[in-house]
A and B are shown apart, each in its own frame.
Chain A
Amino acid sequence: MLADTLNQAGHYWTYVGVGYGAAFVVLSAYSVRTVRRGRKLSRRLPPDQRRWM
């Protein structure tokens, strides 16, 4: 019902909210995961082999 009110012609805030929310969540989750993997893996290697440059 709330969704209907919000979605009345022109409002559509549910869609916008879900969209922005999902984008934020996905990007954050992926970022966290990538950084964590990076830390985990770099711990397993000797210091001189950790970076490309």
Chain B
Amino acid sequence: MTSAPANPLASGSQPDQTDAGPTTERRAPEGTGSRGSRIVGTLALLSLAATALYGLVLSPPDANQGNAARLLYIHVPTATVAYLAFGVTAVGSAMYLWKRTEFWDLLAGASAEVGVVFTGICLLTGMLWGRPIWGVYWVWDARLTTTLLLFVLFLGYLALRRVLVGSPSRAKWSAVAGIVAAIDIPIVHYSTSWWNTLHQGTTISPQKTQMGGLMLFTLGLGFLSFLLVYWWLMIHRFRLQYLETRLDEVGLDAAIAERRAEAGRAGASGPTAAGPELAEVR
């Protein structure tokens, strides 16, 4: 039914020939793709290609940093998106606790996973940039340290969600964890920059990279690309989260039905403690 996609980024399985009309097709899609997602995906891909072209070929090497500056076209935008994703998770968590609608929980969970990917790429490109510039892969400056901590916080949040799979309170508890982590980030940033000013030693603080004309344009392309990629990934990841939640529910319902059946059988042979427990479950 699905033809092999030309490239993974612009995929979505929507054969135009289905037995029913377009409405059924839109409500019964297989997979998380859609016309909207394919549009965004194509734009993202084009934009990424342009960024790579400008970043690797058309833009000049930096006067001080040489070609290493090209890594910044990835490093800086992914950093921004990483923090944006974290913000979305935080807002989603807060809104969930307020409104208690599933949408916010799905948003928070999806953004966390996408965010962790961007944070990882940001850290990696940062390290690869740092090695030629500072001579070391890592320095403990405020921005890098906070981003590293952001990465770990994301991982913890995702681990919590994974451990709580199937639990009816998962959304609520993840939301609390999300907010607690969010209020920590400003404190971490503040304390690490303070801490950093005290322990400068011989580390070169990351100099403000001067970016002129074409380099600035390429950086802008980078921002556009990674924002589009984030948007595309969020569409898919959000829908995936929805699917997973539906499946968890199915599992939960099946388990409850099983308990009831058990209790039914046990009840036939005498009063048990299964009765009052069942009343609590729903």
Contacts and interface: CB of A to CB of B under 8 A. Distances in A.
Interface stretch (B157-165, B192-200, B203-211, B242-250): B242-250
Contact of A16 (B28, B56, B239): B56
14 contacts: A16-B56, A19-B124, A20-B70, A23-B121, A32-B8, A35-B8, A35-B12, A35-B236, A37-B240, A38-B32, A41-B243, A50-B28, A50-B29, A52-B238
Interface string B210-225: 0000000000000000
A15 B242 contact: no
Nearest to B5: A35
Chain A contact residues (Cβ within 8 angstroms of B): what range? 35 or more
A50 B243 contact: yes
B155 interface: no
Contacts of B121: 22-23, 26-27
Contacts, number: 122
B145 interface: no
Contacts of B233: 30-31, 34
Given A35-B11, A41-B240, A23 B124 contact: yes
B30 A42 contact: yes
B8 A28 contact: yes
